[in-house]
Amino acid sequence: MKYGLLLHIARSLMLARFKQTMVAAVGVTFSITMFIALLGFMNGLNQMLDGLVLNRTPHIRFYNEIKPNPDQPIDQSEKYKDYANTIRSIKPNSSRLRIYNSSAIIQTLKEDPRVLGVAAKVSTQVFFNVGSSDITGTVSGIEVEAENALFAFSDYVTAGTPMDLTQTNNSIILGKGAAERMLAEIGDVIQATTSRGDRVQLKVVGYYQSGLGELDNIQSYASLQTVQKMLGEPPSYITDIQVKLHELDLAPSMANDYAALFKINADDIQTVNAQFETGTEIRNLISYAVGITLLIVSGFGIYNILNMMIYEKMDTIAILKAIGFSGRDVNIIFINIALIIGIAGGTLGLVLGYFAGVGIDQLPFETEALPTIKTFPVDFNPRYYLIGGIFSLVTTYFAGYFPAKKASGVDPVDIIRGK
Amino acid sequence: MNDRTVLEAQNIDKYFYSPVKTQVLKKISFSINRGDFVSVMGKSGCGKSTLLYILSTMDTSYQGKLLIDQEIITGKPAGYLSRIRNEKIGFVFQFHYLLTEFSVLENVMVPGLKLGKLNREQLEEKAMEKLRIFGMEEHALKKANQLSGGQKQRVAIARALINDPLIIMGDEPSGNLDKKNSDIVFGIFKELATDFNQTLLIVTHDPEFAEKTDRTIVMEDGRILS
């Protein structure tokens, strides 16, 4: 109906005060640009930092722990089982680290629809013999392909290729720190002593660097078969089963269920890495708070400019009312001005924000600790664009609401008589 | 036809409350028939402008009754009053009051666009026609603030006419103009009254102007004297 006319009037009013309108729109553009760039950058960093730990952490890890048996023989006895038995100095029995019936467990897990993938692992302590001194280390025997698929193993292999582990017998990928201490080059053969006292020769085929220095000093990788052979154990010997789920949130309850079913220990990611989620949440909160503050400040800018416009355009408002525009029409005109500023400024802001993100993404960011990162990480999640867009409309609407209300309440008689 | 009442005031009282309560209009009653060319005259401060604002529905705080087109207007909601103003009343002010953001042609068209009875092309034609009556057609595409005072007032009258209103009200429309332009404006009003049978109600303090109208309502101290 007459909405087109109101829009036309709004446009003419804005064009008559083009500079002011531009200033208001630029304010919105700037704040939306900063909002998008800031959130993208902050969350890119967040995700990278979380990824450092979370990518490599299984959602559920099954293992056997060496600990005293809670069911001591006296509790089994018919005669004394109802007594309060006190036994001192209990020692753990020579229980096995190996997971009993591991292939059946893996089979069961693989059939669970909630499970994304399963990777078996054998962990063992070794001494690397360098001249007369020994360096302690941990060698994990892994299923290279599964480890790659589930835990992005190859991202952290900085030299050599992970698949060499399966193709070369008795090969090892050394932790960067360990390799530096041993002065081991790729192709060198190093000597290690297992916990049972056996000596093995291992060929270095690559370096592993996680970015966590402490880990890189001790952690090395070999294939599952190599480690089983080092330990003199059969191919069914598995000490860890790592599980990745489709839904991270299911981990605690599934860990409990399967721990009871298989009668082994199970750790879920939430329990192990609770502090990471807290950190992420707080960082998110801060970036949203800063972004929204920017938008509110630009909202005040629009409010100011509209208020000034209304004082300047009192005559126009009075005239419009005198010739038959209602208060509601005048209100719509000024709300329209605010929304046009919001939409134009906001859209431009979203585009510029995207380009700012692309720009930041190009900046080099190389650090020893983070081998996989070459440039600053930026998250281009459409959610930030949606929030930025909606919020720019909401703030400009409210910035326009009060001036528009004032304009709609202008009494034309006061203005016309006042001259 | 000529006897039809288009505007009627019944016992209108009006008070100003600040700084002290003063009665500015006292029991104002009169009526205007179609085709009348009426002037309201009185000294400054006698309440004639106040009366005009009440009659034009812009001022709603009064006692008494106002009828436009034989319909009681008093107490109607603001939206309805806006429509009445748009459709039935053409207003000409002392200070021209054109929308400076728009061209002359658009200024004339705006009330018509608001009414929405005709489409843009038809309105444009009609607006040009009105401008032609006042010899303003060559200025149609100029901005309103590029015109002289007399020209602005002619455009304002053209705007008042665009919706073929029941009545045109003027608040000292020639008060801010020199003699020559004032005469032109009066000539236009006279022409409207005689040639187009347009009803006019003009407030003025210029006795010369008032003399030439069909009927003069003289006010003093909030009362109608004659």
Residue numbers in B near A5 (CB within 8 A): 110, 113-114, 116
Flag if B99 and A320 touch (Cβ within 8 Å): yes
B198 part of a folded domain: yes
- Average pLDDT, integer, range A327-332: 87
pLDDT at B3 over 70: no
What is the least distance, in Å, from the CA of A300 to any CA of chain B?
26
- Per-residue pLDDT, A348: 93
In this structure, are residues A237 and A122 in contact, taking their beta carbons and an 8 Å threshold? yes
Flag if A323 and B98 touch (Cβ within 8 Å): no
% of residues, chain B, pLDDT over 70 = 98
Flag if B101 and A316 touch (Cβ within 8 Å): yes
Burial class (CB in 10 A: 0-12, 13-18, 19+), A92: exposed
The number of residues making up chain A comes to: 419
pLDDT at B1 over 70: no
% of residues, chain B, pLDDT over 90 = 0
Flag if B114 and A2 touch (Cβ within 8 Å): yes
Per-residue tokens: B96: 């021209």
Between CA A387 and CA A395 the distance in angstroms is 12
Of B87, B108, B114, which to mutate for an interface test with A (greatest number of A Cβ within 10 Å)? Answer: B114
pLDDT band per the 50, 70, 90 thresholds, residue B34: confident
In this structure, are residues B154 and B136 in contact, taking their beta carbons and an 8 Å threshold? yes
Q: Which residues contact B31 (CB under 8 A, 6 or more apart)?
A: B5, B7, B8, B9
Q: How far is CA A316 from CA B66, B98, B119, B138, in A?
A: 27, 8, 24, 24
Mean of the per-residue pLDDT values for chain A?
Answer: 83
Residue numbers in A near B79 (CB within 8 A): 326, 328
ipTM of the modeled complex: 0.84
Q: What is the pLDDT of residues A186-201, one digit of tens each?
A: 888 888 888 888 888 8
Amino acid found at B47: G
DSSP 8-class letter at A99: P
Residues 290..329 of A with a Cβ closer than 8 Å to B: which? 315-316, 318-329
Residue numbers in B near A416 (CB within 8 A): 53, 93, 95, 97, 171
B69 part of a folded domain: no
pLDDT band per the 50, 70, 90 thresholds, residue A76: confident
- Per-residue pLDDT, A350: 92
B56 part of a folded domain: no
> Could you say which of A316, A322, A419 has the minimum Cβ distance to residue B91?
A322
- Average pLDDT, integer, range A37-52: 82
DSSP 8-class letter at A184: P
Q: How far is CA A193 from CA A76, A136, A190, A201, in A?
A: 41, 9, 10, 9
pLDDT band per the 50, 70, 90 thresholds, residue A354: very high
- Average pLDDT, integer, range B118-128: 85
- Average pLDDT, integer, range A223-244: 85
Flag if B114 and A1 touch (Cβ within 8 Å): no
Flag if A419 and B159 touch (Cβ within 8 Å): no
Between CA A11 and CA A224 the distance in angstroms is 72
Of A323, A326, A419, which to mutate for an interface test with B (greatest number of B Cβ within 10 Å)? Answer: A323
Flag if A323 and B91 touch (Cβ within 8 Å): yes
- Average pLDDT, integer, range B38-55: 83
Burial class (CB in 10 A: 0-12, 13-18, 19+), A71: exposed
Q: What is the pLDDT of residues A107-119, one digit of tens each?
A: 888 888 888 888 8
Flag if B86 and A325 touch (Cβ within 8 Å): yes
> Could you say which of B58, B79, B94 has the minimum Cβ distance to residue A328?
B79
pLDDT at B206 over 50: yes
Query: Domain containing B140: what range?
Result: 36-49+82-224
Flag if B93 and A322 touch (Cβ within 8 Å): yes
Q: What is the pLDDT of residues A206-219, one digit of tens each?
A: 888 877 788 888 88
In this structure, are residues B24 and B42 in contact, taking their beta carbons and an 8 Å threshold? no
% of residues, chain A, pLDDT over 70 = 96
Per-residue tokens: A254: 């599934």
- Per-residue pLDDT, A355: 93
Q: What is the pLDDT of residues B157-179, one digit of tens each?
A: 888 888 888 888 888 877 777 88
- Per-residue pLDDT, B8: 85
Burial A373-384 (b: 16+ CB within 10 A, else e): beebbbbeeeeb
Helix (H) or strand (E) holding B67: strand B63-68
pLDDT at A1 over 60: no
Interfacial residues of B (vs A; Cβ cutoff 8 Å) = 49, 53, 56, 58-59, 78-79, 82-87, 91, 93-95, 97-102, 110-111, 113-116, 159, 171
> Could you say which of B97, B99, B116 has the minimum Cβ distance to residue A1?
B116
Q: List the single residue in A with minimal CA-CA distance to B102.
A: A12
- Per-residue pLDDT, A351: 94
Mean of the per-residue pLDDT values for chain B?
Answer: 82
% of residues, chain A, pLDDT over 90 = 3
CATH of the domain at B96: 3.40.50.300
B25 part of a folded domain: no
What is the least distance, in Å, from the CA of B113 to any CA of chain A?
7
pLDDT band per the 50, 70, 90 thresholds, residue A371: low
- Average pLDDT, integer, range A300-324: 82
Flag if B97 and A2 touch (Cβ within 8 Å): no
- Per-residue pLDDT, A347: 92
In sequence order, what E strands does A151-303 have? 157-159, 171-175, 189-194, 199-208, 219-223, 240-245, 265-268
pLDDT band per the 50, 70, 90 thresholds, residue A375: confident
- The dihedral sign for the CA sequence B28, B29, B35, B39: negative
Helix (H) or strand (E) holding A102: helix A102-111
Between CA A242 and CA A61 the distance in angstroms is 5
pLDDT at A143 over 80: yes
B129 part of a folded domain: yes
What is the least distance, in Å, from the CA of B191 to any CA of chain A?
23
Q: List the single residue in B with minimal CA-CA distance to A414.
A: B59
Between CA B168 and CA B197 the distance in angstroms is 11
- Per-residue pLDDT, A234: 84
pLDDT band per the 50, 70, 90 thresholds, residue B156: confident
Q: List the single residue in A with minimal CA-CA distance to B114.
A: A2
Residue numbers in A near B59 (CB within 8 A): 413
pLDDT band per the 50, 70, 90 thresholds, residue A239: confident
What is the least distance, in Å, from the CA of A318 to any CA of chain B?
9
Q: Where are the domains of chain A?
A: 3-54+276-418, 60-81+91-271
Burial class (CB in 10 A: 0-12, 13-18, 19+), A372: middle
Helix, strand, or coil (residue B7):
strand
pLDDT band per the 50, 70, 90 thresholds, residue A94: low
- Kindly report whether the global pTM for this prediction surpasses the value 0.80: no
DSSP 8-class letter at B139: G
A87 interfaces chain B, CB cutoff of 8 Å: no
Residue numbers in A near B115 (CB within 8 A): 324
- Average pLDDT, integer, range A151-172: 83
In sequence order, what E strands does A269-333 have? none
